[in-house]
Amino acid sequence: MYIKNRDELESHGERALRTAALDIAEYALERVDPYRATRDLVRLQGDHLHVGDLEYDLGRRGDVFVLGAGKASLSIALALEDILGTRIRHSLVVVKEGQRSTTRIVRVTEAAHPLPDERGFRAAGQALEMARQAGRNDIVFCAVTGGSSALWPLPVEGVKFEQKREVHRLLLESGASIREINAVRKHLSRIKGGRLALAAFPAEVINLTVSDVTGDPYDYITCPTVPDTSTFADALAVVDRYRLWDPMPPAVIDYLKAGTERNENPRDFGDNRCHTFLLVRSAEICEAAAEKAAIMGFRVKVLTCKMQGDSALEGGHFGRTLSDARSSCPEGGIALVAGGETTVVLEGPYGEGGPNQEFACAASLVLAEGHQVALSMDTDGTDGPTQLAGALVDASTTSRAREAGLDISGAISRHDVSPLLRRLSDGIMTGHTGTNVNDLKLGLFRITSPG
């Protein structure tokens, strides 16, 4: 069971619908488990390793490497360890701090996320050096998933680690999309933009990844090991679009402006020694939630699997859409499903919160009275730099807030919703889930007797 505080979340408000929403979320998280997906894809029969339609005779091969970074990378590494055991000779996987490992063979280390730290910097350098040691007959498994940019911060020559860290902070607070953020970060890295794969060649590189970016573009979800489609011009356009010229470290601006076609990231690798397998698509969380809701009798409408924009604005729109659906509700009820990644622009002092928590709080303000719930959660289990995965709200959220003297609108404007949600027992706690796909947005409406 992923959700650790179910009893608390089900203890008030629309109890029956809250239980249904949590059941749907649990089912969807189980369906996007990278461990299970890896075990389905990778098989070992004697000395013969099968990865999808690829086959390798390990008796004629050299060493097996496992390198990785990201919030879903540990699950992939655990599966590879269970399949290959001591055939794994070299390994290093970097995970988010607190995502403790139970591996026996694969070496796992923790680092900070979303803002990188020295541990990630050292680990990125070690991973790059390990990749350079791979030979032609070796096989290098790369488990690179969402979160790797912060966990593998290895800046280009001329840019210091502290300056790279400041770039991460500025981009995360700007409201830029993950594609825009990564266009900049890839052009300031010695390991991203396909450069880890270049270091590992001529070894065989096998990418196993999970998508947390809408549309599943490989170079934005597993960018160290696939060719890059973005350019220095794209990176500079992001700096311009979000007015980051002045706050950006001068060394960063100078490096980006000096970028030319000659030092662009690789556009292709020139041969067929790199194979990428998408274990879990970004939209699968929506598909799984929709499937479970239909099984439970709801009439399902998937609004979008590519939601973007401001979290509070999108949350308000989602809440109004759910309330408007009341007028045409069938007997079995209505389920609205959406996925994607909304953002928050942080200016000046701010408190504790995350985009999914703000989304849910904004939805709660416009939910009509009775028989509706809205859930918004980050599938990796940590929404922003908090211990909450998201929130589950209903119309009682606003009434209970008033009774407790809490101001939801004010908390949203201060970007300080986590304390409020904990006080109201509406914050979802999962801990690290081991997966990392799109955020899940779920709205339910059904005429039910009080739970």
Mean of per-residue pLDDT scores for the chain: 94
Half-sphere exposure of 382 (CA within 13 A, CB side): 18
Banded model confidence at residue 369, pLDDT cuts 50, 70, 90: confident
d(CA 94, CA 143): 10
Least trusted range by pLDDT, from 200-214, 218-232, 327-341: 327-341
Strand arrangement, sheet containing 48-51: 42-45, 48-51, 54-57
Does residue 237 lie in a domain region?
Answer: no
Residues 21 and 102 in one domain: no
Residues 44 and 142 in one domain: yes
Nearest to 244 by CA among 174, 346, 345, 155: 174
Does residue 166 lie in a domain region?
Answer: no
| Count of domains for the chain | 2
pLDDT tens string 219-243: 999 999 999 999 999 999 999 999 9
Residues 23 and 141 in one domain: no
Banded model confidence at residue 449, pLDDT cuts 50, 70, 90: very low
CATH of the domain at 194: 3.40.50.10180
- Other beta carbons within 10 Å of 429: 17
Residues 276 and 414 in one domain: no
pLDDT tens string 13-40: 999 999 999 999 999 999 999 999 999 9
Residues 308 and 438 in one domain: yes
Residues 307 and 357 in one domain: yes
pLDDT for res 329:
76
Residues 78 and 224 in one domain: yes
d(CA 337, CA 344): 21
CATH of the domain at 374: 3.40.1480.10
- Domain of residue 294: give its range: 6-31+283-445
The answer to whether 374 and 363 have CB atoms below 8 angstroms apart is: yes
Residues 276 and 315 in one domain: no
Does residue 94 lie in a domain region?
Answer: yes
pLDDT mean over 378-406: 96
Separation of first and last alpha carbons in the chain: 22
Whole-number percent of the chain with pLDDT over 90: 88
Does residue 450 lie in a domain region?
Answer: no
pLDDT mean over 89-103: 93
Residues 24 and 87 in one domain: no
Residues 222 and 86 in one domain: yes
Residues 297 and 361 in one domain: yes
Banded model confidence at residue 346, pLDDT cuts 50, 70, 90: confident
The answer to whether 351 and 415 have CB atoms below 8 angstroms apart is: yes
d(CA 57, CA 305): 40
Read off the tokens for 216: 């599943």
E strand or H helix at 241: helix 232-241
State yes or no: pLDDT of 448 exceeds 80. Answer: no
Least trusted range by pLDDT, from 182-191, 234-243, 362-371, 405-414: 362-371
Measure the CA dihedral 297/303/304/309, to 10°.
-130
pLDDT mean over 268-290: 93
Does residue 162 lie in a domain region?
Answer: no
Residues 207 and 349 in one domain: no
Does residue 184 lie in a domain region?
Answer: no
Whole-number percent of the chain with pLDDT over 70: 99
d(CA 388, CA 248): 30
Does residue 256 lie in a domain region?
Answer: no
Residue with tokens 């622009």: 345
pLDDT tens string 129-175: 999 999 999 999 999 999 999 999 999 999 999 999 999 999 999 98
Does residue 258 lie in a domain region?
Answer: no
